[in-house]
Amino acid sequence: MDRPTVVLHGHFYQPPREDPWTDRIRREPGAAPFENWNERIAAECYEPLARAGAFDWLSFDLGPTLARWLEGERPEVHEGFVRGDRASRARLGHGNAVAQPYHHIILPLASRREKETEVRWGLRDFERRFGRCAEGMWLPETAVDMETLDVLAAHGVAFTVLAPHQVGDVPAGGVGRIRLAGGREIAVFIYDGELSHGVAFGALLDGRDAWFEALRTAAGREVPFVALATDGETFGHHHTGADRTLMRVISRAREGGEVAIGNFAAALAAAGEVPPVTLEEPTSWSCAHGVERWRSECGCRMAPHLDLQQRWRGPLREALQSLAAGLDEAYVELAPGRFPDPEGAVETLGEVLGAPSGLEDFAARAAREIGGGERRDEALALLEVARDRAAMFTSCAWFFDDVAGLEARQVLGYAAHALDRLRRIAPERAEALEAGFVGDLAKAPANDPDLANAAAVYERASRSGAGVAVPADT
């Protein structure tokens, strides 16, 4: 029997933290001695991994919004990811990099059009960064339903990665296929739950060789393939020194000859015919109740020992959905005359969202094509509305426990910024949408008695309007 292949996968993502008005991250005192959490996590995790050449061997997905920050603020780390994908392609014939939807949204809770937009944007951003088409896509929180898989397959994605409880029966080889409508199908890799949990929560990181021995034991079960998947930030940020442990495991695997380090795309190419599996839907890797964590008080939370309610989750989502519908209507009415192809403009945003000055250049080109340079600012405002409207559903806002938390304030900031940009073109429409939105937010109770509800949180989040920077959190 050939050596079994092991795939070590890191899901690299951080909640977007940029102020929508300034596109800069504010000071975050909790990240001290660093200016903000991106800076701290980069120093603890991303930079050491890049210096060590980890991405040559580590399968990974890199969130587009995090990649954008790295490209601008830590270009040497960004290049480390790109170089790792290139090196793995040379070694295996397939790259280590796996795509993500552009924004980290819970796809089963999105409409088909929203799913298609995020998947398309994520794929285009991936192509720009890595210089190739993505073969696989990691789903935010591994949240999945059949429609999500159908959208992936329709856009040429060959595989995704799921937890063991997300399929009816885990195939012996670690990979199965799910049949979809119209004769399409998609492969699903199932990561080893015990191994992944042991690394994610540190049990296999304590002893010098515990992780490798567990990996060798799993690979010795006469299976051709074993996968481990965890947050990439595990390696150095969540667990100090885990970046060095990872490199020791990689070194032992390379030198010992007992296992081969591969990636998902190469494993799929070598798998031949894979058995059909059934999907459990909707499910995710971080909610025991499917995807309820992102729309209801299901009981999943970060700090169960604290007396905090999450009854705000449903009203917050409903308020944002209502606002999104209003923003969509505004775009449909206002975009003609400002873009030669209004619908196509939104579809192709993924090619420029992550690029420096991407939106500005895109708007300028659109204005030139319709022969009206004075429309550039209006076109740019509408592109920002479309971008912010999508970013409003970033999953982190619901993952944590309080509607007044940083992550919920961030998505409310996107809502405020979208309305601010719409106000430049259609002030009365923007005012009406905002009034309805604030009324809906009042139904989302806050835990802080001084705030009462999400409407008060929104009022604070919208203080940066008219170009005034939000004061740093203290």
Give residue-wise pLDDT tens across range 324-365.
999 999 999 999 989 999 999 999 999 899 887 789 888 888
pLDDT above 90: residue 286? yes
The predicted model scores a pTM of 0.95
Instruction: Compute the mean pLDDT over every residue in the chain, rounded to the nearest whole number.
Output: 94
Residues 42/246, Cβ–Cβ less than 8 Å: no
Question: What is the pLDDT, as a whole number, of residue 373?
Answer: 64
Q: CB neighbours of 90 closer than 8 A, spacing ≥ 6?
A: none
- H helix count then E strand count, the chain: 18, 8
pLDDT above 90: residue 460? no
Residues 405/291, Cβ–Cβ less than 8 Å: no
104 alpha-carbon distance from chain centroid: 3
Dist. CA 131–CA 124, nearest whole Å = 10
Question: What is the pLDDT, as a whole number, of residue 368?
Answer: 78
pLDDT above 70: residue 172? yes
Reported in sequence order, the residue ranges of 149-200 that DSSP labels E, i.e. its strands, are 159-162, 175-179, 185-190
Residues 14/66, Cβ–Cβ less than 8 Å: yes
- pLDDT tens digit sequence for 194-241: 999 999 999 999 877 899 999 999 988 878 899 999 999 999 999 999
Dist. CA 395–CA 387, nearest whole Å = 15
Phi, psi of 454 (to 5 degrees): -65, -20
- pLDDT tens digit sequence for 292-318: 999 999 999 999 999 999 999 999 999
Share of residues in the chain with pLDDT > 70 (%) = 97
Question: What is the pLDDT, as a whole number, of residue 472?
Answer: 37
Question: What is the pLDDT, as a whole number, of residue 371?
Answer: 65
- Return the closest-CA partner of residue 319 out of 436, 241, 154, 181: 436
Dist. CA 219–CA 165, nearest whole Å = 20
Cis preceding-peptide flag for 276 (omega within 30 of 0): no
Question: What is the pLDDT, as a whole number, of residue 467?
Answer: 41
* CATH numbers and ranges of domains, the chain: 5-271 (3.20.110.20), 297-467 (no CATH)
The Cα-based distances of 159 to 100, 138, 163, 197 in angstroms read 12, 9, 14, 22
Q: What is the mean pLDDT of residues 412-440?
A: 98
Q: What is the mean pLDDT of residues 53-76?
A: 98
Dist. CA 97–CA 100, nearest whole Å = 10
If you search the block for the tokens 């021995």, which residue do you land on? 213
When pLDDT is cut at 50, 70 and 90, the band that residue 473 belongs to is: very low
71 alpha-carbon distance from chain centroid: 16
